[in-house]
Amino acid sequence: MSDRYAVFGNPVRHSLSPRIHALFAAATGQDLTYEAVEAPVGGFREAVLAFRDAGGRGANVTVPFKEEAYALCARVSERAQRAAAVNTLSFEAGGAVVGDNTDGAGLVRDLTQRLGLDLGGARILLLGAGGAARGVLGPLLLEGAAEIVVANRTEARARALERAFGGLGRVRACGLAAIPPGPYDLVLNATAASLAGEVPPLDEVVLAGAPLCYDLAYARDGLTPFVAWARGRGLRAEDGLGMLVEQAAEAFALWRGVRPETAPVLAALRGGAAGQ
């Protein structure tokens, strides 16, 4: 019987993760299935444990459950502990749930290897302070970012990240209406606005001169609202599909012991072959 994996989220029907992992499995000769499971809000723990008890080997976790996934784990990796958020679960033979966070590694790999961005000494504006932001802050600082400004609608949540990650580098917190002036080398949208078809309330002057705007969300068809908004102002902007593929490869390697090639999968997704 094939080993079973899944992604849990709400909503999750849009997810490309099942197709990505099917392509990874075919390319590496791994016998597995991978499905999307929409867990009810308030019922994430029960849904994951039911999947484990039915023979599941591991799972990915997306919005809005990454912090709940962290609380579910008996043991977590150092990067997950730093983020206090988990996006990758492994189920041990005795039933223990082990957590990791591959988001930051996936983002860094996409930014540096595919997009050619040098993060050493970079000044970064990070919009949002939820699980997605928590997952990428540490790896960005460890890559040598000179400063990361965390701007969030609720400033207190941004302040919490300033305290949690300040030991790794310079982190400044603020509200969305009080973002320090640029220039920024990179603007990251880690809010859930794109999932709601919206753009964060942002003074476009803040983005002036930014070499790259990057949305951690992605769209199955067309552009995310943030990418469309930035490109409409003449800025270079990318969505998070590359990050999705890279973090998926990191999770696949944790589960299966082999890291798949990501470029062919991203090319297939961009061409529409895997987006159906």
Q: List the catalytic residues.
A: 66
The annotation status of 262 as a binding-site residue, yes or no, is no
The annotation status of 140 as a binding-site residue, yes or no, is no
The annotation status of 16 as a binding-site residue, yes or no, is yes
The annotation status of 113 as a binding-site residue, yes or no, is no
The annotation status of 276 as a binding-site residue, yes or no, is no
How far, in Å, CA of 21 to CA of 145, rounded?
31
3-state secondary structure the chain: CCEEEEEEECCCCCCCHHHHHHHHHHHHCCCEEEEEEECCCCCHHHHHHHHHHCCEEEEEECCCCHHHHHHHCCEECHHHHHHCCCCEEEECCCCCEEEECCHHHHHHHHHHHHCCCCCCCCEEEEECCCHHHHHHHHHHHHCCCCEEEEEECCHHHHHHHHHHHHHHCCEEEEEHHHCCCCCCCEEEECCCCHHHCCCCCCCHHHHCCCCCEEECCCCCCCCCHHHHHHHCCCCCEECCHHHHHHHHHHHHHHHHCCCCCCHHHHHHHHCCCCCC
Q: Locate tokens 């082999």: which residue?
A: 258
The annotation status of 90 as a binding-site residue, yes or no, is no
The annotation status of 128 as a binding-site residue, yes or no, is yes
The annotation status of 166 as a binding-site residue, yes or no, is no
The annotation status of 87 as a binding-site residue, yes or no, is yes
The annotation status of 103 as a binding-site residue, yes or no, is yes
The annotation status of 193 as a binding-site residue, yes or no, is no
The annotation status of 240 as a binding-site residue, yes or no, is yes
**If phi over 0 gives left and psi between -120 and 50 gives alpha, with beta otherwise, what is residue 258?**
beta
The annotation status of 188 as a binding-site residue, yes or no, is no
The annotation status of 17 as a binding-site residue, yes or no, is yes
**Residues tagged in the binding site annotation for shikimate:** 15-17, 62, 87, 103, 218, 247
**Residues tagged in the binding site annotation for NADP(+):** 78, 128-132, 152-157, 216, 240
**Residues tagged in the binding site annotation:** 15-17, 62, 78, 87, 103, 128-132, 152-157, 216, 218, 240, 247
